[in-house]
Amino acid sequence: MTNPVIAVFGTNGALGKPTLDALTSSTFSSKISFPIRAITRDPSKYTSNDEIKYYKADSADIDSFKDVLTGVDVLINLGGTSDIQHYDTPLDALLKYAKDTVKLYIPSQFGTELDVTDLPGFLQVKTAHSEKARAAGVKTIDVINSLFFVPGSYLYELIYGFNPETNVAVVRGDKGTKFDTSYLGDVGKAVAAIVTFGDYSKLPNKIRISSDRITLDDALDNYEKIHPGVKITREYVSKAETYKKAHELYDAGFDFKDFLFYLEYFISQGTDKGVSFSKNENELINPGESLFKWTKYGSI
């Protein structure tokens, strides 16, 4: 296959910069057709160059995607969950303008392994979106990275069950329960590794990646380390008790305000319940860490 023409949607979100940085890095750049087409509502905020060309498009208008998607081989969707349009419009536009050229679609999954959770229909919008792309005949790979870690943000300052105003943490699950976590930069590199893989038919439809495996206590210990003088009061709630509470809540109907609690629930339930993988595809996409080193939590 010749080097793929790649479009990236949602470039101003959490994954935009890490993904563009990875694609333009020397590790991957020889396997890409430049310029990468970066989609934004406001190209005036950016400067296009030989490597990245910014295109204006808005999810409210499918036809605004015509120029950017005509002729693409790959679309990477990094849109957020705030509006279903961020999922569906780029895909609908891909099918309208690039049906004959597209070889790979990466939908905006980037989180929980939804097909193993025991909460039926949890984030169904993401599952249905991937199914829709596959039903249209497009090779579609869900990148499942479990929970992000980012210094200054996810799992450094924002820790599931921890209230930094009171310094009290509710730690759910049996002590020592590990979950997978991925550094944002590694997620960008993993996406770059997938889109430059070559024969996409050799890749599964679900690629689980993991930079590290940690416990909530590891994250709380790290918080105390980076905030000298802070001592967190930890309240432990069992796996069984959390199961009961989560199912009662979910049976009454999903409410987005409980989203973070459900992530605590997935953490508490351990392996193959959403955020702790019994198996991952790290080795498939980055054999022997030949492309990049996975970043250890707490090392940055």
Ligand X SMILES: NC(=O)c1ccc[n+]([C@@H]2O[C@H](COP(=O)([O-])OP(=O)(O)OC[C@H]3O[C@@H](n4cnc5c(N)ncnc54)[C@H](OP(=O)(O)O)[C@@H]3O)[C@@H](O)[C@H]2O)c1
User: Could you list the residues that contact ligand X (CB under 6 A)?
Assistant: 10-15, 40-41, 58-60, 78-82, 86, 108, 110-111, 145, 147-148, 154
Half-sphere exposure at residue 223, Cβ-oriented, CA atoms within 13 angstroms: 26
Task: Output 70 or 81, the one with its CB closest to ligand X.
Answer: 81
Residues 6+ apart with CB under 8 A from 274: 112, 113, 114, 116, 117, 266
Q: Can you tell me the distance from the alpha carbon of 106 to that of 12, in angstroms, rounded to the nearest whole number?
A: 17
Query: In the complex, what is the shortest distance from the CB of residue 21 to ligand X, in angstroms, rounded to a whole number?
Result: 15
Task: Output 60 or 84, the one with its CB closest to ligand X.
Answer: 60
| Cβ(106)–Cβ(73) below 8 Å | no
Place of tokens 């599964």: 204
Task: Output 82 or 166, the one with its CB closest to ligand X.
Answer: 82
Query: In the complex, what is the shortest distance from the CB of residue 1 to ligand X, in angstroms, rounded to a whole number?
Result: 27
Q: Can you tell me the distance from the alpha carbon of 38 to that of 97, in angstroms, rounded to the nearest whole number?
A: 16
3-state secondary structure of 73: coil
Q: 218-242: b or e for each residue (b if 16 or more CB lie within 10 Å)?
A: bbbebbeeeeeeeebeeeeeebeeb
Query: In the complex, what is the shortest distance from the CB of residue 240 to ligand X, in angstroms, rounded to a whole number?
Result: 25
Task: Output 229 or 256, the one with its CB closest to ligand X.
Answer: 256
Q: Which tokens is 95 given?
A: 């099918």
The residue among 107, 80, 91 whose CA lies nearest residue 191 is: 107
The residue among 39, 105, 52 whose CA lies nearest residue 74 is: 105
Task: Output 41 or 244, the one with its CB closest to ligand X.
Answer: 41
Query: In the complex, what is the shortest distance from the CB of residue 282 to ligand X, in angstroms, rounded to a whole number?
Result: 16
Task: Output 154 or 292, the one with its CB closest to ligand X.
Answer: 154
Helix (H) and strand (E) counts in the chain: 9, 13
Interior angle at CA 193, CA 188 and CA 198, nearest 5: 145
Residue 85: count of CB within 10 angstroms of its CB: 15
Task: Output 145 or 222, the one with its CB closest to ligand X.
Answer: 145
Query: In the complex, what is the shortest distance from the CB of residue 231 to ligand X, in angstroms, rounded to a whole number?
Result: 26
Residue nearest to ligand X (CB): 80
Residues 6+ apart with CB under 8 A from 24: 36, 51, 52
Query: In the complex, what is the shortest distance from the CB of residue 219 to ligand X, in angstroms, rounded to a whole number?
Result: 13
Query: In the complex, what is the shortest distance from the CB of residue 264 to ligand X, in angstroms, rounded to a whole number?
Result: 13
Query: In the complex, what is the shortest distance from the CB of residue 77 to ligand X, in angstroms, rounded to a whole number?
Result: 8
Task: Output 67 or 241, the one with its CB closest to ligand X.
Answer: 67
